[in-house]
């Protein structure tokens, strides 16, 4: 196998465990805390999870290990989008499992949850797992997006577990996957299968966050990677002094990634979807906000800048949501065929104009032609507009360009600049995990096995106090049901883990809000540079600004 120098070097890195897990597995005991309640809808959640609801939070501490010395066969699953550090969760799990009993077995189900249903796995060995220590990616077993949520699936999973003597499953995933872990745990308990289920909080999006999850793994590395690139682009535009760069960053609906990148790089503009929704901003409002910054900077002779656009932004613009709903309606059922049969874009445009309300047509008319066509021509298998494909970085660049042209005409804007757009997403999901993510993930996996060993099920592997040095981290477990509430999803009431959006009264947003007017007009760029794995702690052990601000505010 042909390896990069960094990959070879990273094999030698020893991830740091929380102090209380450093004494060897024989010296880890449980401290049982208070029984828990779900964050809302307690009666409904309790009724849905009679066997796993209301359990106690637990913490580990130094003390004699009193777990039953049963042989464990653990299955591990990587679910959903990649996040840096996933391999280390598996490695931590493996190391704790083998340290407890060399006869214990770790099975890696391949290609996500479908691996469990298809009985497709590999058994982990030292030789195999050592190739993946401290590396990025989910290629150790692959990932997938199959949802484990129906009883027939659970029945198959039970059969597969029985066949291989599986005693526990660890699901590494986001909010949906951990919700599914809780449901599976309840099923396994209700049916006395003897299979425990433990979840681990993964997502670069940062939207799996609550009282018990300070940060999901991968957010640290992904935002550092995007911030490296944004910082490099800031420096480029501050050198060439003639471009504004509009940069979309991944992160689904929530704007956590964009906000963290803004705090890391002090870009001139960062849109926050949650704020757009709260203030019911229109496309014109947002355009004006950005154009004001371009104009103010241009009038200072600074005809360059950087604007960060969260991936989910357009979903938060009320008038845009209305437009999308109308388009979906306009092309519902047979009307798609009628539309498609129209001979030219001009004819299609007339059809659209006749079908939309005046308000939505006004929004539609503002859009660049490319995006207008995309809304009608690229549709998902259900005929719906694919909002996630909308190139919002190009949309806002175009709208701002038009606005500035109008202002130039009117004589208020005197500057001159070009516009360039970027989208950063895939680049950050499989980077080598930062030391933080390497340590955190290894700890989550190690800790997950301790929860299994002590017989817990329906728990999330919880490691907290994460802005302190790893020595002071707190390891333990929290019933997943504690994080759940009932939400309406696809017309049904479902128990789910509440998705965390950016809180407009939270410390990270408040800090951003207090500084953004200055950052917009002045050039306050910060250049974070590439993630460092070596060197002074000041460069290789940096906490995200989001976590730091949140922890300081506690």
Task: Choose between 47 and 240: whose C-beta lies nearer to a second copy.
Answer: 240
Task: Choose between 284 and 524: whose C-beta lies nearer to a second copy.
Answer: 524
Helix, strand, coil proportions of the chain in percent (round to 5)?
45, 15, 35
Q: How buried is residue 127: exposed, middle or buried, by Cβ count under 10 Å (0-12/13-18/19+)?
A: exposed
Q: What is the distance, to the nearest Å, from the Cα of residue 124 to the centroid of all Cα atoms in its chain? A: 27
Q: How far is the CB of 227 from a second copy (least distance, A)?
A: 9
Q: What are the residues whose beta carbons fall under 8 Å from the beta carbon of 406, sequence distance 6 or more?
A: none
Task: Choose between 3 and 332: whose C-beta lies nearer to a second copy.
Answer: 3
Residue 521 binds a second copy (CB under 8 A): no
Mapping DSSP onto H, E and C, the string for 188-237 reads HHHCCCCCEEEEEEECCCCCCCCCCCCCCECHHHHHHHHHHHHHHHHHHH
Q: How far is the CB of 131 from a second copy (least distance, A)?
A: 12
CA distance 171 to 458: 11
Residues binding a second copy: number (CB under 8 A)? 66
- Using the contact rule CB under 8 A, the part of the chain among 31-39, 212-220, 407-415, 429-437 near a second copy is 429-437
Residue 340 binds a second copy (CB under 8 A): no
From residue 121 to residue 160, what is the string marking binding to a second copy with x (rule CB under 8 A)? --------------xxxxx--xx-----------------
Residue closest to 316 by CA, chosen among 273, 271, 357, 361? 273
Active site residue 205: yes
* The one catalytic residue among 95, 205, 437, 439: 205
Q: How many CB atoms lie within 10 A of CB 501?
A: 20
How far is CA 156 from each of CA 152, 176, 184, rounded to the nearest angstrom? 6, 20, 12
Task: Choose between 84 and 477: whose C-beta lies nearer to a second copy.
Answer: 84
CA distance 529 to 472: 28
CA distance 494 to 239: 52
For 336-379, give the DSSP string: HHHHHTSSSHHHHHHHHHHHS-HHHHHHHHHS-HHHHHHHHHSB
Task: Choose between 96 and 269: whose C-beta lies nearer to a second copy.
Answer: 269
Task: Choose between 20 and 390: whose C-beta lies nearer to a second copy.
Answer: 390
Q: How far is the CB of 113 from a second copy (least distance, A)?
A: 14
Per CB under 8 A, the list member of 11, 339, 345, 351 interacting with a second copy is 345
From residue 266 to residue 295, what is the string marking binding to a second copy with x (rule CB under 8 A)? x-----------------------------
Bridge partners, residue 385, by sequence: 379
Task: Choose between 61 and 236: whose C-beta lies nearer to a second copy.
Answer: 236
Q: Could you identify the residue written with the tokens 């065929």?
A: 337
- Using the contact rule CB under 8 A, the part of the chain among 28-36, 58-66, 344-352, 477-485 near a second copy is 344-352
CA distance 36 to 477: 12
Per CB under 8 A, the list member of 129, 431, 460, 483 interacting with a second copy is 431
Residue closest to 60 by CA, chosen among 90, 112, 23? 23
Q: Give me the phi and psi of 332, to 5 degrees please.
A: -65, 145
Task: Choose between 4 and 412: whose C-beta lies nearer to a second copy.
Answer: 4
3-state secondary structure at position 519: helix
Using CB under 8 A as the binding rule, the residues of this chain from 232 to 271 that contact a second copy are 232-233, 235-241, 245, 264, 266
Using CB under 8 A as the binding rule, the residues of this chain from 63 to 102 that contact a second copy are 81-82
Rg (CA), the chain: 25
**In this structure, what DSSP letter does residue 150 have?**
S
From residue 376 to residue 405, what is the string marking binding to a second copy with x (rule CB under 8 A)? ------------------------------
Per CB under 8 A, the list member of 11, 339, 351, 527 interacting with a second copy is 527
> Tokens standing for 547?
């976590």
- Using the contact rule CB under 8 A, the part of the chain among 150-158, 293-301, 423-431, 503-511 near a second copy is 423-431
Q: How far is the CB of 218 from a second copy (least distance, A)?
A: 12
Residue 531 binds a second copy (CB under 8 A): yes
**In this structure, what DSSP letter does residue 66 have?**
-
- Using the contact rule CB under 8 A, the part of the chain among 95-103, 229-237, 254-262, 399-407 near a second copy is 229-237
The contact set with a second copy (CB under 8 A) reads 2-10, 81-82, 111, 135-139, 142-143, 225, 228-229, 231-233, 235-241, 245, 264, 266, 343-346, 370, 420, 422-423, 426-432, 524, 526-536, 538-540, 542
The residues annotated as belonging to the active site are 205
């Amino acid at each position: 196998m042909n390896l990069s120098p960094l990959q070879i070097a990273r094999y030698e890195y020893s991830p740091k465990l929380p102090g209380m897990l450093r004494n060897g597995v024989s010296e880890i005991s449980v401290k049982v805390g208070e029984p828990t309640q779900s964050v809302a809808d307690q009666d409904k959640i309790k009724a849905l999870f009679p066997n796993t609801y209301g359990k106690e939070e637990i913490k580990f501490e130094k003390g004699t290990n009193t777990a039953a010395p049963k042989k464990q066969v653990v299955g591990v699953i990587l679910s959903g989008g990649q996040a840096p550090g996933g391999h280390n969760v598996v490695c931590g799990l493996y190391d704790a499992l083998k340290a407890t009993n060399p006869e214990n077995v770790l099975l890696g189900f391949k290609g996500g949850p479908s691996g469990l249903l298809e009985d497709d796995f590999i058994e982990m060995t030292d030789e195999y797992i050592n190739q993946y220590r401290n590396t990025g990616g989910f290629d150790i077993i692959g990932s997938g997006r199959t949802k484990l949520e129906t009883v027939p699936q659970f029945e198959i999973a039970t059969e597969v577990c029985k066949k291989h003597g599986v005693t526990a499953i660890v699901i590494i995933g986001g909010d949906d996957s951990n919700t599914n872990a809780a449901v599976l745990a309840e099923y396994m308990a209700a049916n006395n299968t003897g299979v425990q289920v433990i979840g681990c909080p993964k997502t670069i999006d940062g939207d799996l966050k609550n009282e018990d999850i300070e940060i999901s793994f991968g957010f640290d590395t992904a935002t550092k990677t995007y911030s490296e690139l944004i910082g490099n682009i800031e420096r480029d535009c501050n050198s060439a002094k003639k471009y504004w760069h509009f940069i979309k960053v991944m992160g689904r609906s929530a704007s956590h990634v964009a906000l963290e990148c803004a705090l890391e790089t002090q870009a001139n503009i960062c849109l926050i979807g949650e704020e757009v929704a709260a203030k019911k901003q229109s496309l014109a409002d947002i355009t004006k906000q950005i154009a004001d910054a371009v104009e103010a900077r241009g009038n200072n002779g600074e005809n360059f800048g950087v604007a960060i656009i969260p991936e989910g932004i357009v979903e938060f613009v009320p008038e845009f949501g209305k437009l999308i709903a109308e388009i979906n309606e306009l092309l519902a059922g047979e009307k798609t065929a009628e539309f498609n049969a129209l001979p030219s874009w001009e004819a299609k445009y007339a059809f659209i104009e006749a079908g939309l309300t005046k308000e939505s047509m006004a929004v539609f008319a503002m859009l660049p032609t490319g995006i207008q066509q995309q809304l009608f021509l690229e549709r998902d298998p259900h005929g719906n507009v694919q909002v996630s494909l909308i190139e919002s970085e190009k949309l806002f660049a175009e709208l701002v360009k038009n606005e500035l042209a109008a202002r130039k005409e009117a004589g208020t804007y005197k500057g001159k600049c070009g516009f360039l757009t970027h989208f950063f997403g895939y680049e950050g999901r499989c980077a080598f995990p930062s030391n933080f993510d390497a340590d955190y993930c290894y700890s989550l996996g190690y800790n997950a096995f301790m929860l299994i060993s002590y017989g817990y099920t329906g728990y999330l592997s919880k490691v907290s106090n994460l802005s302190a040095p790893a020595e002071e981290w707190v390891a333990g477990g929290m019933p997943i049901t504690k994080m759940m509430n009932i939400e309406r999803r696809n017309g049904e009431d479902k128990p789910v883990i509440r998705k965390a959006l950016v809180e407009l009264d939270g410390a990270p947003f408040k800090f951003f809000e207090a500084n953004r007017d200055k950052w917009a007009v002045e050039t306050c760029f910060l250049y974070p540079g590439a993630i460092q794995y070596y060197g002074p702690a000041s460069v290789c052990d940096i906490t995200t600004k989001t976590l730091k601000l949140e922890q300081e505010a506690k």
